[in-house]
Structure 1
Amino acid sequence: MSDRPTKGRMRYLTFGVRLLFTAGLLGIALQTVDLELIRSGLEADLGFALMLSFSLLLFALALSAIRWVLVCNLTGIKLSTLMSGAIVLIGHFFNQLLPTSFGGDAMRGWCLWRQGTTLKKAFASVLLDRLFGLAALLMLVVGGLPLLAIRLGTNLPFYAAGGILAAAALGLFLLLNLHGAPATLRRRRFWPLFERLSVHARNILSAPTEIAIIMILSLVAHASALYTTALISNALGAPLTLTDALLIVPSVLVLTALPISIGGWGVREAGLAGGFALIGLDPGVAVTTSILFGAVNILGGVIGGLVFLAMGSPKPVTSEDAS
């Protein structure tokens, strides 16, 4: 008897649990939202802050598109900057609808496949691009932890930074040595994709200039999220500095990547509220800031949705993909 119906039910159940979790976190967070604060903010600087935030989002997506082009070049894929930008917008659209950013990554791989690249190469490039983005985000987290330690007068953030660095080093070692995995793992259906990813990663390490450019693009793209958070918070009356944002936002962005909510909603609000409280700012302003931050991202997702509708139908599966 096929286990497909069982797997289908598990997918729906998992999605339902994530939806309930998202709704629960949002429900708790929304109790702290000050609608009067938003109204007064709109009458002051909030409108300008939101417009600038939307511009920064598009800027960050453009940087992500350029980064992906560089990653594709290093993996033997020809991708124009214009097409990369269109696909990144589509990925951003699905990021707003699906649990974590991996749903958007899957759509990026699918769209790249439609342009004539094999599935293996397409998804290898997407995974490597995601790893570069995650590495840059973890660099910001580690960079902010010593400042947080000084701010709170405790050594715990130093230990956390050491743990993150150790885990990252171990992850990189494993990625570069997947070809030496035990036979039981190498017989897995999708293992060839991971082995290809390992080969690409080893090849990319021989291009230090390109790696440096990719990391700079990633850091600047993430920095725009920090600035956006500070921008909206200040417009709402909370004196959040860029240093404060460095202490909070990168860790929250890592949490939103976990597969526990829809589009990061709920987790982002709770994370920012906790971070604001940690540095002595109003958690209610944090939740309001997060909701407005999410609204800006949804607006960017609308553009991606329109691009997706204009992309047309997929091409037939190639013989290599079928195998």
Structure 2
Amino acid sequence: MAVRFSLLAGLIGLLAWQVDLGAALGALQGVDGTVVAIALLGVQLHVLLSAVRWRVTAACLGQRLGWRAAIGEYYVASWLNQVLPGGVSGDVLRVVRNRQSERVADQWQTPAHAVLLERLAGQVAFALVAVVGLLCWLATATTVMPAAGLRLVVTVVLALLVFLGLAGVTMRFARLGASRFARFLVDFGPALRVAWFSHGLWFVQGVLSLSIVACYLAVFALASYAVGAPLHPITAVMVLPLALLTMLVPVSFAGWGVREAAAAALWPLAGYSGADGVAASVVYGLVTLAGALPGAVILVWRPWRHQPSTVSDSRA
């Protein structure tokens, strides 16, 4: 923990040294409130679509989730992922609060599979969009960075995605214990096949996941527009996924500090200053935090929710 906060403090110090924070503050003071309101609606759409994806994934595995439960629990998870370190606490709580009946031999496995597969679908879609953005750089931005350098960036980003994905999965479920973790992995393949590939579900999962990624990018693009730094759609696809990708690095709360440093480095490639990038990133962070506030209300209202769901085996 001490190392994590030391890295974050060093990063913030470097950001303060390299970026005109006064200019960033000035950009924040001129934020367009109407655009911010539209961005808040984008956050709600993101939560709704994510809840739909979770409900579809759980249903494929035999777990029944009502619409109100799926949406409410996703708000709770989104809020906790914003305010707790690591970015996965809300997902773990989704499993706990929606586990199966105690009469089931393993009341955690199906809910855990559903949550993991739902989040993994989003990471795959996000990785695809990030790669498309990097390929756009390779095709159009060789004057800014040599093609060889961009290929190196592509390789590093892909390696980082793989590493963070494997590390996140291992850390999230290692606490199940050796035997239960082994069983979880054995059953994960069939669960993935059922939830992603049976009955043409790859199309449903793909459309939902790409739509959710589009919401992320749209909210960030609106945040940049709100501070007076509108991004061309192609430019947005090139810079926004990389800025959001840094949030996977587990050294801060919800990517704060890391995301701003990335935006400060990336926005000059779009023709703006690093201060504009910092301001846009701060607005994005505040909008996503405010958009998840219903989760805090639900958590206070129903802090110990556990309604055992009916689960049937649908992996035959």
Q: TM-score, normalised by structure 2?
A: 0.80
Does residue 1:32 correspond to 2:20, yes or no?
yes
Counterpart-to-counterpart distance in 2, 1:171 and 1:232: 27
Does residue 1:124 correspond to 2:110, yes or no?
no
1:202 aligned partner, one-letter code: R
Q: Higher relative CO (CA 8 A, sep ≥ 6), structure 1 or 2? A: 2
1:105 aligned partner, one-letter code: D
2:63 alignment partner, one of 73, 77, 82: 77
Counterpart-to-counterpart distance in 1, 2:90 and 2:8: 18
2:26 aligned partner, one-letter code: E
Does residue 1:150 correspond to 2:142, yes or no?
no
Counterpart-to-counterpart distance in 2, 1:238 and 1:288: 9
Does residue 1:100 correspond to 2:123, yes or no?
no
Contact 1:91 1:107 in 2 (8 A): yes
1:269 alignment partner, one of 260, 275, 279: 260
Partner of 2:209: 218
Q: Cα deviation per residue 1:147-190 (whole Å; 9 max; x = unaligned)?
A: 11123214344565578779989999x9xxxxxxxxxxx95552
Q: Cα deviation per residue 1:79-110 (whole Å; 9 max; x = unaligned)?
A: 12221111110111111122232222112212
What does residue range 16-95 of structure 1 map to in structure 2 within 5 Å?
16-29=2-15, 32-33=20-21, 34-39=24-29, 41-42=30-31, 46-95=32-81
- Quickly say closer, same or farther: Cα 1:50–1:27, change in 2 above 3 A: farther
Partner of 1:207: 198
Per mean C-alpha deviation after superposition, the further-off stretch among 197-206 and 247-256 is: 197-206
Contact 1:22 1:262 in 2 (8 A): no
Unaligned 5+ segments in structure 2 are 167-176, 309-316
- Quickly say closer, same or farther: Cα 1:115–1:79, change in 2 above 3 A: farther
2:244 alignment partner, one of 246, 253, 259: 253
Counterpart-to-counterpart distance in 1, 2:188 and 2:116: 8
1:110 alignment partner, one of 72, 88, 96: 96
Q: Cα deviation per residue 1:40-88 (whole Å; 9 max; x = unaligned)?
A: x24xxx1011111111001111000001011101111111222111111
Q: TM-score, normalised by structure 1?
A: 0.78
Partner of 2:274: 283
Contact 1:255 1:267 in 2 (8 A): yes
Contact 1:226 1:242 in 2 (8 A): no
2:242 aligned partner, one-letter code: S
Partner of 2:314: none
2:221 aligned partner, one-letter code: A
2:113 aligned partner, one-letter code: A
Counterpart-to-counterpart distance in 1, 2:33 and 2:237: 24
Contact 1:60 1:221 in 2 (8 A): yes
Contact 1:63 1:217 in 2 (8 A): yes
Equivalent pairs: percent with the same residue?
25
Partner of 2:174: none
Unaligned 5+ segments in structure 1 are 1-13, 175-185, 318-323
Cα root mean square deviation, aligned = 3.1
- Quickly say closer, same or farther: Cα 1:302–1:204, change in 2 above 3 A: closer
- Quickly say closer, same or farther: Cα 1:284–1:215, change in 2 above 3 A: same
- Quickly say closer, same or farther: Cα 1:163–1:76, change in 2 above 3 A: farther
2:301 aligned partner, one-letter code: A
Counterpart-to-counterpart distance in 2, 1:27 and 1:295: 21
1:280 aligned partner, one-letter code: G
Give the number of equivalent residue pairs.
287
- Quickly say closer, same or farther: Cα 1:187–1:224, change in 2 above 3 A: closer
Partner SS for 1:259: coil
What does residue range 190-201 of structure 1 map to in structure 2 within 5 Å?
190-201=181-192
